[in-house]
Every structure is written in structure tokens, then in C-alpha cells.
Amino acid sequence: MRHLVWLCVTIAQVIASSEIRAKQETLSVGKASGNFSHYDVLNYTATEPGRPVKPGTKLRILCAGDSITSGLKSEQEGGDGDGYRRQLQKDLSEDEVVFAGTVEGGTMTDGYFAAWPGKTIQVISDRIGPSLEQRPNIILLHAGTNDMNSRSRLTQAETPADAAERLGRLIDKMIKACPDAVILVAVIVGTCDTTKIAKTPEYQALIPGVVQERRQAGHHVLAVDFSTFPIQDLRDCVHPTNEGYRLFGDYCVYLEEAGIVELNV
């Protein structure tokens, strides 16, 4: 396996050269590193691949969020349209996996998810209820990119703090509907989009605290650091290239494993 999915659960620094990728780097558990040393944030390191994430347990995975989760533009340049989910499915071949969600796209036969391109955290929250009723036991959440638009009338969130508050309410909704699920909340991917770049770092910095508050209350929630995802693997400063989506999928699967270990569930 080349690199690392959502849900996703240890991130340090991603080395992006094609030569190193050819050596098939992978991930392992790591805490309190990178930009978020005051919190338990799972980070990207390296480990040996090949272990099932949760032996003996059917994984009901809900990939939730916005356009990155839906796989927007992954059909371009000969891509399959499955976003990171195809690589996630491949990496989880040793596990029994079912994808939850009410939206379907791409070429996968089981490619369900709960993600809506261009939508804010509030819209995601308004639409996600039927997917949560399917009782996923792993939820991979990457949300807030659209809330960072500098045109606040489009975002429903005037400041990054507003967006973080809404993220917290979305997490609470997930906890209430799926109290036994492992919820992996992404510190979102960075950007070079001029309409989003000003607000994104502040929002990224707020996410670990939002998650930590829920974790300290005894819930199965962890922050996973995607802020180290390589900007050069974004095709338009927001959405991954086809290779970037594969990398994103690798992030998620190893972060899932690390999250299950860290939360002891």
C-alpha cells in the first residue's frame, strides 16, 4: 500500500516525492504531534501494512462531508469517480465492509456515502439523518471547507469559530444517533484557493478542541490531521488529483485502525 483513509487515524508529515511513494509508505498510530500538541490528534507516520482493522467485525463505514468525500472531479483524466472510497475499499480487503449512506456515485457497486458538493456544515447536518439511521460503526467526517469561503453570505458561517461551533453540533448529532460508533473528525485538508485560504488555518486549529471536548465526555471521537495532506496533490487547490484521492484513502484506513486502537473499542 502506497500511503494512507477517513475517518481516518495518525498523521505526521506526508512525503510527496514519487520515489518515496514507490516504496509504499503506510501509517501507524501517533499522538500529540504536528501542529496540535495540546490535543490527542492522530497523525501520519509509517508502519507495516497488512492487518485487518477490526477482525471479526463487519465495518459499516459512513463517509460524510462535502465534495472531497463525494469524490468530485475524480472521474477526470481517466479516473473512476469513486474518490477515496475505492482505495479505502481496497485497503480494507481483509475486513468485511459495508458502506453506509444515502448518496451513491462513481463506479463502485457499494459506493454509498453522505456528502454533498459545495455544501456547508449546516446543510450536511440537515441532510445526514437518514444515513445515521443505518447505524454505521465508523464515521469518517471531513467538513468545513465550504464554510471557509470569504463570501460569508454563501457559507452560513461568518467566522471560523462559527463553523467550529456548527461542526460540534454535527458531531453531537452523530453521537446521539450512533453512540457506539467511532467518529474520526478530520482537521481538514489545506488549500491554495484564494477564496478560502484566509479562514482555513484558524478553523483547522479549532477542530481538535471541538473534538477533545466530546472525547473528554466519554464519546468515541478523535481528531485526525489531514492538514498535512500535500497541496501538490490537489488538482484545483481544493480537490485531490486521482493519485491524491488514493493517498486520501490510505490516510483513512490506517487512521481508522489507529482510532480503534486508541479508543479501545
Fold of 53-249: Rossmann fold (3.40.50)
Q: Which residues, at least 6 apart from 124, have a Cβ–Cβ distance to it below 8 Å?
A: 64, 65, 66, 114, 115, 116, 143, 170
* pLDDT reported for residue 107: 82
What is the number of helices (H) and of strands (E) in the chain? Answer: 8, 8
State the chain's maximal CA–CA distance in angstroms. 48
* pLDDT reported for residue 258: 62
* pLDDT reported for residue 4: 35
* pLDDT reported for residue 30: 33
Percentages helix, strand, coil for the chain (3-state, rounded to 5) are: 35, 15, 50
The 10 Å CB-count burial string (b at 16+, else e) for 85-105 is bbbbbebbeebebebbbbbeb
Structure pTM?
0.81
* pLDDT reported for residue 147: 94
Mean pLDDT per block of 10 residues along the chain (265 residues) reads: 36 26 31 54 58 75 92 72 82 85 88 93 97 96 94 76 97 98 93 92 96 94 88 88 80 66 58
DSSP 53: S
Give the integer Cα–Cα distance in Å for 154 and 180.
Answer: 34
